[in-house]
Structure 1
C-alpha cells in the first residue's frame, strides 16, 4: 500500500505554559497541510514474523539512517497499547529534515493511521495524550483536516474553515534546526509577548497574514543566526506577504495572494 505523508506549516504558533513533569509546552497554532510537498510511504504486513522493519530513502532511492526514528517510537507506543505492528515500511523523503515542516510527525501519523484504520481502532484520548509526547503535530496529521487549530499539548484538534484557499510558497536553505534547542532558547528569553490565539485566528480570517506570529521565531534566530540572515535576504524586496518561520525552523513560508 502506498500512502502520502504531507508537510505542514504553522500559520501562527503561540507557546504557552511549560509543564516540567512531561517536558512539554501548551501550544496554540493553526496548521495547514502543504499539498504539494509530501513523503511517500510503502507499507505492507510482515508475513514472516511479528517484527517491524523501517527504512528511509532519499527521493533518488539512497538509504538514510536515523538515530531517532519517530516512526519506530510510534510503533512501540502502539505495541504498548496492544496493537500489533508487524509491518515493513519504506519511507521516501522529500520533506526536508529538522525544518519545521513536521516531516517526522507526518510519517509517524500516516503509519499509525494506516495501522489503526486497518484494525478498525479509533485513537482514544489516553493514546493521544501519549502520542503528543512523541510529536505535538501528530494528532493534526491523524485528523482528516487540511486546516486546523491545535491547542493544549497538540491533542486537541479543531477544523478551521476559511472563506478562502491558502496557497503557500516555501523556502528552505538546508539548515537543520533542533527543536529542543529552539524551545530551550525560547524559555531563556527574558521577555515573552503575551498573544491571544483568538485574536490571531481573527487576523487569519481577515487575511492579515503579516500580523500572524510565530513565538519561536526569535528563539530560532538567536540559536541559528543563519536562518535570520536567510529570512532578511528573502524579505528584502518583498512588499506583500513576507516570509516567516514555520514551527521551530528552519523552513520559511509566505502566503501567496
Structure 2
C-alpha cells in the first residue's frame, strides 16, 4: 500500500447545457456535453496511523471538515470499507471556486480514486462513479473525465469522441453566482431555445470543431447574464478577439472561448487580468486522457 499519493483534479466546461424538465423532487433534468480541461487542483494524500481525516487547503475560506466534499469523499469510502487508519489531505486549489467548472466535484472524485488506490479497496472506475453520485451529480463525470454526454441530473453518462484540438480561454469575472439562484429562476417550460446537442455529438464523431462550436449553447445564461452582465461582457470580448465561440460554463460565472491560436487566447487572457475583468484567467487545452 502507498503511504503517499499525489493527484490532479481537472476542471470541466459545458460545451452545451440544456434543461429538459423538472422532477417532482425539485431536481432539474439536464442534457449536457461535458469536457475536461487542462486546469487542475493538486491533492496530496498521506496515510496516517492515527484514525481520522485531516484536510488542509491553500484558501482560507474553504471549510476543512465535514462541509468539504473532499473530506466527505474520503469519509464515505473509509467507513464503508472499515479503514481504521487515518488520512491527511492537502488540497491546492487553482480551479475557480463556485464558478461552474466543477472544481469541488473533481476534488472529491480524485479523493475517491486516491483512497481506493491507497487502501487497495479494489473498486472499479464504474463502482467509484456509482458511489460518487452520493456526493454530487457531477462527481461521477469527474471520475470518468474526457468528453461525455450527461443526462438525468448529470449522473447518466455516455463517453463521446474527444473534442478536436484547440485552445480554451477560461475567465472568471469578480462575482460569485449561486447555482440555486440560477436554477430557481429558470423557467423550464418557456425556454426560447435549446442547444443542438445531437448535432454537437455528430460533429464530435466527425472531429469537426466548426460543427461543435456551431452547436454550443447554455440555457442557464438566460438567468445568469441579466443578473451578472459581466458574463456577457467577457463573451463579447472573446468573440471580438476572434474566438470561434464563447459561452458560460455551468451556472457561471466562468466564461470560456474556443480559439485556434494560443497567441490570441494568451493576449486576451493577459488583458482580462490586467484590467481586472477576470479574477482568474487561463489558457488551456481540452484534456482527454482517461487516467
TM-score by length of 2: 0.74
Shift in Å, 1:109: 0.4
SS at 1:151 equivalent = strand
| Runs of 4+ displaced beyond 6 Å | none
CA change 1:166–1:232 in 2 (3 A) is: closer
SS at 2:112 equivalent = helix
Distance 2:74 2:223 in 1: 32
Matched, 1:183 2:187: no
Flag structure 2 segments of 5+ consecutive residues without an equivalent.
Answer: 261-291
Matched, 1:27 2:26: no
Choose 197-206 or 153-162, whichever is displaced more.
197-206
What is residue 158 of structure 1 aligned with on the other side?
158
Distance 1:212 1:112 in 2: 31
Shift in Å, 1:46: 2.4
Matched, 1:217 2:221: yes
The alignment covers a number of residue pairs equal to 247
CA change 1:147–1:191 in 2 (3 A) is: closer
CA contact (8 A) 1:57 1:64 kept: no
CA contact (8 A) 1:214 1:245 kept: yes
What is residue 48 of structure 2 aligned with on the other side?
46
SS at 2:44 equivalent = strand
CA contact (8 A) 1:45 1:86 kept: yes
TM-score by length of 1: 0.83
2:252 to 240, 249, 254: 249
Flag structure 1 segments of 5+ consecutive residues without an equivalent.
Answer: none
Could you say what the CA RMSD is over the residues aligned between the two structures, in angstroms? 2.7
Matched, 1:75 2:74: yes
- Cα displacement string for residues 201-226 of structure 1 (whole angstroms, at most 9, x for unaligned residues): 23555423043111111111133233
CA change 1:77–1:185 in 2 (3 A) is: farther
CA change 1:187–1:74 in 2 (3 A) is: farther
Shift in Å, 1:106: 0.6
Shift in Å, 1:122: 2.7
Distance 1:17 1:193 in 2: 14
What is residue 65 of structure 1 aligned with on the other side?
62
Shift in Å, 1:162: 3.9
